[in-house]
Amino acid sequence: MLYLIPTPIGNLEDISLRALRLLKEVDLILAEDTRITRKLLAHYDIHTPLKAYHAHNEHRLTASLVAQMEAGSTFALVSDAGTPAISDPGFLLVQACVAAGVTVSCLPGSTAFVPALVGSGLPCDRFFFEGFLPHKKGRRSRLRWLSELPYTFVLYESPHRLAKCLRQLVEYCGAERPACVVRELSKLHEEYVHGTLAQLIAHFEAHPPRGELVVVVGGLSSKKPKAAGP
């Protein structure tokens, strides 16, 4: 069996009792970065063996791991923070387990875009989660498509790329599009910065961002401007 176990995105208290129990009970924990996961396990006095499983070795290891689970082993998969397979490794292993008939169970838990979306004050009855934009090829066509969505969309971004991202959003969505940049969720310096895209650019020019970022952008208004003239 394979358990997908969300881990805290900042505050170490943001993990469920069930997740802690399973991390103690499974035969092996597959971790995106064993150094980061080892700190979490030490905090909760968990001594389950760890094995690295990440984007650079998942193609090589997946078949062997599935075979071990078919033979009776129970594994847990964790990423550095949040829910595995959401902008992190995991999909390939889950897909292979499903194809092989290995039971997969994903626990509910931490993921950055949900609290960012809900706390942004932008409509969240419908939304689109984009995750990380392409760095080069296809980036502009993706931004053009996102800009025409009639509902809120959510991006992940790094601090050193935020200024470029906001400027490009202005180019495609307009300077007055409402948005929110959420920084350091669940950590000591958690911050929600609300405003138009233009206001957010000005804010982060004056206050260079640090830490993990989520960008939430309002959808294209369904109201059409009135025609000019009498």
Parse the chain into domains and list their residue ranges.
2-106, 113-217
Torsion sign (Cα): 57, 63, 68, 72:
positive
Handedness of CA 125, 126, 129, 134 (dihedral sign): negative
Residue 106 in contact with residue 74, Cβ under 8 Å?
no
Give the pLDDT score at 51.
97
The CATH H-level superfamily of 113-217 is: Tetrapyrrole methylase, C-terminal domain (3.30.950.10)
How many CB atoms neighbour CB 228 within 10 A?
Answer: 5
Q: Do domains 2-106 and 113-217 have the same CATH topology?
A: no
Q: pLDDT tens, position by position, for the chain (230 residues)?
A: 999 999 999 999 999 999 999 999 999 999 999 999 999 999 999 999 999 999 999 999 999 999 999 999 999 999 999 999 999 999 999 999 999 999 999 999 999 999 999 999 999 999 999 999 998 899 999 999 999 999 999 999 999 999 999 999 999 999 999 999 999 999 999 999 999 999 999 999 999 999 889 999 999 984 444 434 33
Per the CB < 8 A criterion, the answer to whether 132 and 153 are in contact is no
Global confidence as pTM: 0.89
**The CATH fold of domain 2-106:** Cobalt-precorrin-4 Transmethylase; domain 1 (3.40.1010)
